[in-house]
Amino acid sequence: MKRHRLLVLLASVLAALSPALTTHADRLTLVNGDRLTGAVVALADDELIFETPYAGTLTVDWAQVAALESDGPLTVVFADDVRLVAPAEAGDDGLLTLRSGGDPNAVDAVDAVVARPFAEVVAINPPEVPPWRWSGHLSAAITASSGNTEADRTYVEGEVVARNERNRFSLAGDVNEAEEDGETTASRRFARFGYDRFVSERWYLNGNLTATEDEFQDLALRATVGVAVGHQFADREGYSLSAELGASYVDEEFDTAPDDDYLAARWKLDLARALTDGVELFHDHEILQGVEDGDDRLIRTKTGVRFSLWKSFVAAVQVNWDRDESPAPGREKDDTVWALNLGYSW
């Protein structure tokens, strides 16, 4: 009898608590009218991660969300970089309604209600970003042969990137040297510095400098300085994509040919995409097109596949193709380098 009364009491307590338990949940309404109850985990790249007690973790296309309510505060980032920490309230379909709690980035009134279109939301509960994040890689391909042919070849490349919420600095370069039977057959050096100032979650302003030396292109120094507007389409583990459009000033000094300088339009694209676990495709290219002379065109590309070997050690198979539409007299327009590199990434 005592056990029976204890079970009845326990059931009564659970019944009393169950309404409170069920109300402490986030509610999601889709454009087709479906309603989901659970917890908002995060929104990134237009995909909402929503945890439910009955269907596990769901991934919902953000464009399919019509309304959102939350019992607890959400950290919401908008396209103009306004960031609010507040619960989401019931509101009109197509608008995310937040009570700002006097957040200075929103309005100057305390407990003001902010309602903005779902399309303007770029992130919810973004991960904490350390003050500075460092990444990069350093790799080399070195070959040597002796006997009937004495040949040595060295190709070294690397890149270092430092990023915080608003700023990104990058420094990259490569060296290609080759010698056969005591004669130099390749001697080229390239360096690039870039600075990005993010004005929103994805848009940034860019400044860039490059320097190139190439003995076999009769090029003592090619220096470029430019500005651009860039867009970071994606920047997460396994997928990074950015593009830049701007203008550059090109100054070329040759060993024997007449020097040259010109203004050019500039286009740049950087892509890194994981194909499978431990295998990554990478491609970047940069095109400078002279404004006054159509033959003033420079193209620089790098394409390859990078493989994880052990911990942070990697191998890469890549091809670099460069083209100068108006090289020094007697020089080829195209330069191609195939390389199998071993290196370290971080």
Taking CA 203 as the corner, what is the angle to CA 199 and CA 208, rounded to the nearest 5 degrees?
A: 90
**In terms of pLDDT, which residue wins out, 153 or 304?**
304
For CATH 2.40.160.40, the residue range(s) in the chain are 133-345
**160 pLDDT tier (thresholds 50, 70, 90):** very high
Higher pLDDT, 189 or 80: 189
**Residue-level pLDDT at 50:** 94
The more confidently predicted of residues 143 and 22 is 143
Query: Quick one: CATH architecture of 133-345?
Result: Beta Barrel (2.40)
What number of other Cβ atoms are within 10 A of residue 19's Cβ? 9
Higher pLDDT, 121 or 6: 121
Does residue 107 have a pLDDT over 60? no
State what percent of residues in the chain have pLDDT above 90: 54
State how far the Cα of 195 lies from the Cα of 336, in Å rounded to an integer: 28
Rounded Cα distance, 69 and 56, in Å: 19
pLDDT in tens, 202-247: 999 999 999 999 998 999 999 999 999 999 999 888 899 999 999 9
What average pLDDT does the segment 71-98 reach? 84
> How confident is the model at residue 144, as a pLDDT?
64
pLDDT by residue (tens digit) across 63-76? 999 889 998 889 99
| pLDDT over 60 at 13, yes or no | no
Q: What is the pLDDT, as a whole number, of residue 4?
A: 47
| pLDDT category of residue 143 using cuts at 50, 70 and 90 | low
> Each residue of 241-295: pLDDT tens digit?
999 999 999 999 999 999 999 999 999 999 999 999 899 999 999 999 999 998 9
Q: Which residue has the higher pLDDT, 165 or 244?
A: 244
Gap between the Cα atoms of 228 and 249, Å rounded: 12
Q: 285: left (phi > 0), else alpha (psi -120 to 50), else beta?
A: beta
What is the distance between the alpha carbons of residues 144 and 146, in angstroms, rounded to a whole number? 7
**pLDDT band for position 21 (50/70/90)?**
very low
What's the pLDDT score for residue 178?
85
**Who wins on pLDDT, 3 or 142?**
142
Secondary structure (3-state) at 327:
coil
Q: Beta 74-78 vs 83-86: how paired, if at all? A: antiparallel
The one-character DSSP state at 161 is E
Q: What is the mean pLDDT of the chain?
A: 86
Candidate from 80-89, 171-180, 254-263, 297-306 with smallest mean pLDDT: 80-89
Percent of the chain at pLDDT exceeding 70: 86
- Which residues contact residue 294 at a Cβ distance below 8 angstroms, ignoring those fewer than 6 apart? none
Can you give the pLDDT at residue 10?
A: 43
**Which amino acid is it at 58?**
L
Q: Is the pLDDT of residue 325 over 60?
A: yes
Position 131 pLDDT exceeds 90: no
